[in-house]
Structure 1
Amino acid sequence: MQSKSLDGLFQELLENEPIFKNKEVLRHSYTPDSLVHRDDQINSLASILVSALRGDTPSNILIYGKTGTGKTAVTRHVGIELERKGESLGLSCKVVYLNCEVIDTQYRLLANLTRQFGEDVPMTGWPTDQVFFKFKETIDNERQVVIIILDEIDKLIKKGDDVLYNLSRINTDLEKAKVSMIGVSNDLKFTEFLDPRVKSSLGEEEIIFPPYDADQISDILHERAQIAYKPDALDEMVIPLCAAFAAQEHGDARRALDLLRVAGEIAERENKSRVEEQHVKGAQEKIEIDRVIEVVRTLPTQSKLALYSVMLLRNNGYKNVTTGEVYNVYRQLCLQVDMDILTQRRVTDLMSELDMLGIVNAVVVSKGRYGRTKEIVLSVPINSTKKVLFEDYRLKPLEFFKPVLTTQLHL
């Protein structure tokens, strides 16, 4: 009975008229054939990499810029065109793209690189030196220039920069092949943690990607919308509103594309033939809630306990709670689940971290002769956040906990 009703539901949904032509062009993984407002960066990158088409080793490059400024799209676009041009000239030019948020250890990076060239290397089990030797041996079988793009390279160096040191000096051990690296990062300061020798060899050239303004984001959305949506599927205010929301987020084109896609998905679920302003506002709310929930899910347990303390106070009628009140409830929670109790100063630091993540809003206020304290207001929806907190098995026993709300607890 259940399967029949579901079958009918799927059939009904399939019969709704779609408003998308190709939704995939609004996803981060899509690399467009042309990139508006990034000519300077494309030209800079191409002028460095053209050495590969002469059979020379291009300089290593570091690319910086905030999230959604086109770094990955430009790098992949230029890489694709470089491979095409190399093929037409009869040159072997291979561009390898790896995301270091996913491939975040030296071993996995080298294993993935080697696999890109057709060698079967296990994802665990070999000594790292053996994998590195295998990679060198594999690429040096023929005359070729290999460009390695390491996206979110800062995630990799948090676990050490040995692999970057080895890769930046690999050319001295190669006879036929030549290797160049492109590091892409949102963090302008990540090179401060690098070994000076790695820093000098990796950052031979640097390219900075500035944020987009609202007009530039609007142009990007217009270009993608023509491919993504059917004609007349967008109300005239949809793209300007998406662009305006994203411009507030430091010119994040990814955010704008997400808004444009999610707004369309909401409209389709409502069986509407056009995406309207209300759908963009709904998409903004949904994306923000999804972002916050993901951040909360990955918080350390102590931060979750501090956050839950604020939520319990809020549920008991406190609107602007102080760090002292939070600490009193936090201590009770720790005792309840047998967790180490941090100092009040450390819990105050945790609240500052939650403030930076946008989960709470903490404002320092003066209490006159009683000194200064922080007043904390929640910036997240209580019900969905609570649900995520209780996914953590250590917090699950606190689901029905009732704190003792007094000025001073005698424990």
Structure 2
Amino acid sequence: MSLEEIFDQYLGSRIYKAREKLLPDYVPEDLPHRDEQIKRLALTLAPALSGSRPSNVFIYGLTGTGKTAVTKYVLRRLAEKGGGRIEYVYINCRQNNTSYRVLAELGKFLGVKIPFTGLALGEVMKRITQALDRKHRILIVVLDEVDNLVKRNGDDVLYYLTRVNEQLTNTRVSVIGITNDLKFTEFLDARVKSSLGEEELVFPPYNAIQLEDILRRRAKEAFHEGVVSDAVIKKVAAIAARQNGDCRLALDILLKAADIAERERASEVTEAHVDKARNEIEKNLTVDVIKTMPLHVKLVLASIYLLTKEGGAKTITTGLIYDKYKELVTKVGIEPVTSRRITDILNELDMAGIINARVISLGRYGRTKVVALGVPLKNVEEGLLSDIVISAVIGG
């Protein structure tokens, strides 16, 4: 297919009416099945309309439960109602995962020139504080996936933002922290924890029926009539419902399936396209998750990977994993973690679906945990080999 034909195909798409309606950053005019969360967040932020600083809010929930969409939706309406007296800035802490980068993004919003690197954090905070007080506004700072920042860099930025009002005369700042990690607050200083958690909001997962409804609404906006059948919608919703009710995953699968149908010049999205999309996405998700793991978690996974690849042990027990792990940390030249921590890491990998762990009885010898990879070996290999340290010790 020539370049011209590829472009012409998308100019006159038989599949899409408005592809952007399936993209993750699109916030629809209506957010079904989140009425309670919208109402609670609106009630928390509404004091801003009378010039009072709203309480800081901490929002918890698994991936794809609508946390970001609801936050943007409510803030957009609040800013419109505020007539220029209320502003908000959205910062993703996965993309901006250092204290400096988060503050640089805030500075950019405020019109403060902050170099890419080089300034002391205290100087950056001083410039931002001065710029804030020139605003004469109520500013709401949204830190999405804030756990990525705190686990990597500590809670300096959160401490600063939850205390900055003490230094301001004309402007008031509120913070909304969003996280997928329900245990995240364990990483916070007690003072930050109490300041940030003035209000807490938990988003439950969507069920299969709710996901079907959301997908039907989006499909109506995104596709030409008759392109997506009810069977396809039900299949995508069922897949996402099994993955903790992840609406983002459902929309990703539908988008990817439609893209595949488009490339194949099909006139409709079929269940076969959904299967292909799911396989592509699951592979990419596994590799991405492994790439972002801490070093010791990667070393434990590398131990399981090597034991699986070597095939010498038909059953991979925790004892074998710990022995192999100790070999690897010796090669790397770092101190091993405790066997208790290894058990915790195995539980984390099991919950993430990277491995399957089960306890078996050894009769009078007690019980032990047996482990097997829950994802393809090549995906684990690709994720691990992206790390130079791991690549060196597993012979990549």
Q: Does 1:206 align with 2:200?
A: yes
Q: Does 1:294 align with 2:291?
A: no
Please give the per-residue CA displacement for 1:57-106, whole angstroms capped at 9, x wherever unaligned: 1121122222111110011111112222223xxx4221111112222333
Normalising to structure 2: TM-score of the pair? 0.87
Closer, same or farther: CA 224–174 of 1 in aligned 2, 3 Å: same
1: distance between equivalents of 2:166 and 2:395? 64
Consecutive unaligned residues of structure 2, counting only runs of 5 or more, are none
Larger CA Rg, structure 1 vs 2: 1
Cα deviation, residue 310, structure 1:
2.8
- Selected match of 1:137 from 124, 130, 140: 130
| Aligned position for 1:262 | 256
2: distance between equivalents of 1:58 and 1:332? 53
2: distance between equivalents of 1:176 and 1:392? 48
2: distance between equivalents of 1:102 and 1:387? 22
- 287-296 or 74-83, larger mean C-alpha shift: 287-296
Cα deviation, residue 188, structure 1:
2.9
Cα deviation, residue 302, structure 1:
2.0
2: distance between equivalents of 1:138 and 1:390? 44
Q: Does 1:309 align with 2:306?
A: yes
Q: Does 1:65 align with 2:61?
A: yes
Q: Does 1:221 align with 2:179?
A: no
Task: Determine if contact 1:66/1:187 at 8 Å carries over to the other structure.
Answer: yes
Closer, same or farther: CA 62–275 of 1 in aligned 2, 3 Å: same
- Selected match of 1:184 from 167, 178, 181: 178
Cα deviation, residue 363, structure 1:
1.8
Please give the per-residue CA displacement for 1:302-353, whole angstroms capped at 9, x wherever unaligned: 2353032233134x6x654344555676677778x67669599479635444
- SS of residue in 1 equivalent to 2:369: strand
2: distance between equivalents of 1:52 and 1:344? 49
Closer, same or farther: CA 80–294 of 1 in aligned 2, 3 Å: same
- Equivalent residues, number: 388
| Aligned position for 2:168 | 174
1: distance between equivalents of 2:171 and 2:334? 55
Task: Determine if contact 1:242/1:260 at 8 Å carries over to the other structure.
Answer: yes
Closer, same or farther: CA 35–397 of 1 in aligned 2, 3 Å: closer
Consecutive unaligned residues of structure 1, counting only runs of 5 or more, are 1-7, 402-411
Q: Does 1:151 align with 2:148?
A: no
- SS of residue in 1 equivalent to 2:142: strand
RMSD: 2.9
Closer, same or farther: CA 271–343 of 1 in aligned 2, 3 Å: same
Task: Determine if contact 1:309/1:326 at 8 Å carries over to the other structure.
Answer: no
Please give the per-residue CA displacement for 1:219-254, whole angstroms capped at 9, x wherever unaligned: 111111112111111122011111111111222111
Cα deviation, residue 258, structure 1:
0.9
Closer, same or farther: CA 334–184 of 1 in aligned 2, 3 Å: closer
- SS of residue in 2 equivalent to 1:68: coil
Normalising to structure 1: TM-score of the pair? 0.84
2: distance between equivalents of 1:364 and 1:195? 37
- SS of residue in 2 equivalent to 1:98: strand
Q: How does 1:21-170 map to 2 (within 5 A)?
A: 21-87=17-83, 91-158=84-151, 159-170=153-164
- SS of residue in 2 equivalent to 1:274: coil
Cα deviation, residue 213, structure 1:
1.4
